[in-house]
Structure 1
Amino acid sequence: MTQIHANCVALGPHAILLRGPSGSGKSNLALRLIRAGGRLVSDDRTDLSAQDGKLIATSPAMIARLCEVRGIGIVRGLAYQGAGDVRVIFDLVADPAEIERMPDPQSEAFCGISIPSWKIWPFDMAIKAKIETALALATGEMQLET
């Protein structure tokens, strides 16, 4: 098992990791995705393990079902799912200018499983659509034109 500093949100049958330094907008974006129908798997720290060729995310027991909402406090009661089949990792950037217009495909291995990764600016007006598109690419529902 590996633990990383990231949030995990389940969207449909799959999950995504939101990674970035403290204050980068991980919980903010997770909260917006949960309010739009996603389910919290973990906030701030995520445990990862390989199971049957899939990367599975869970929350450390001490913080399971909890989410820090900056300016409000730690809340319980958001839509929750105990584990998620991770298909994409998003690295949150502070400045949208840091994102390449046409990036080369990137991936990162966790527990021996390669996961596609993209950089995103968490306050993009089209963030939910971009996340859904990246997830569809990662699961083979869409393809990149090369």
Structure 2
Amino acid sequence: MIRVHATCVSVGGAGVLLRGPSGSGKSDLALRLVDAGALLVADDQVDLAADPTRTLLTASAPERLAGLVEVRGLGILPVPAVPSALVRLAVDLVGRDAVPRLPEPATVTLAGVILPRVALWPFAASAPAALRLALAALAAGAPPVPAAFDGVAA
């Protein structure tokens, strides 16, 4: 098991790992996803455990953080949560100008498990919808998810 500085939400049962430095928008995007029906797995620190075959990655919260999210300006508050989720997508939160319009597919290896990876500007109004579309494409067996989303159709 490894612990990473990230936030994880379960969107329709699929874990989405939001990665980025402090202040990058992890908790903000997680809160908007939860408001739209997702469930929090962990905020700020996420425990990741690979299965023995290194094909599945499970995310969970450290016990003291379970069910809590940091809401800037309000503090640490409880939100609807689940104890764990299988991670299906890693999302690197980047600045708006760092999101290429037509990216190449990308992956990341975490705890020995290869996952599709996207880059996303978390403050776009379309960010939650873009993540749901990326997960739907993965579930439908689409090729690896493009490396970035800017929320704009080509």
- The alignment's TM-score, normalised by the length of structure 1, stands at 0.91
Question: Counterparts of 2:108 and 2:141 in 1: how far apart (Å)?
Answer: 20
C-alpha contact 1:2 1:49 (8 A) present in aligned 2:
yes
C-alpha contact 2:99 2:119 (8 A) present in aligned 1:
yes
Of residues 61, 66, 69 in structure 2, which corresponds to 1:67?
Answer: 69
**Partner letter of residue 120 of structure 2?**
I
Counterpart of 2:57 in structure 1 is 55
C-alpha contact 2:29 2:128 (8 A) present in aligned 1:
no
Question: Counterparts of 1:34 and 1:51 in 2: how far apart (Å)?
Answer: 27
Counterpart of 2:91 in structure 1 is 90
Shift, 1:137, TM fit: 2.8
Question: Counterparts of 2:43 and 2:6 in 1: how far apart (Å)?
Answer: 7
SS of structure 2 residue aligned to 1:133: helix
**1:139 and 1:113, CA in 2 relative to 1: closer, same or farther beyond 3 A?**
farther
Unaligned runs of 5+ in 2: 145-154
- What does residue range 95-110 of structure 1 map to in structure 2 within 5 Å? 96-110=96-110
Counterpart of 1:10 in structure 2 is 10
Aligned length: 142
Question: Counterparts of 2:88 and 2:98 in 1: how far apart (Å)?
Answer: 23
Unaligned runs of 5+ in 1: none
C-alpha offsets along residues 76-131 of structure 1, whole Å, 9 cap, x if unaligned? 2x11100011000111112x111111111111111221011111001112112210
C-alpha offsets along residues 47-85 of structure 1, whole Å, 9 cap, x if unaligned? 000136311000011211111101000112x11100011
Question: Counterparts of 1:79 and 1:37 in 2: how far apart (Å)?
Answer: 9
- The alignment's TM-score, normalised by the length of structure 2, stands at 0.87
C-alpha contact 1:87 1:139 (8 A) present in aligned 2:
no
Counterpart of 1:114 in structure 2 is 114
**Partner letter of residue 100 of structure 2?**
E
**Identical-pair percentage:** 42
Counterpart of 2:81 in structure 1 is 80
Question: Counterparts of 2:3 and 2:135 in 1: how far apart (Å)?
Answer: 22
Shift, 1:143, TM fit: 4.5
Question: Counterparts of 1:137 and 1:111 in 2: how far apart (Å)?
Answer: 24
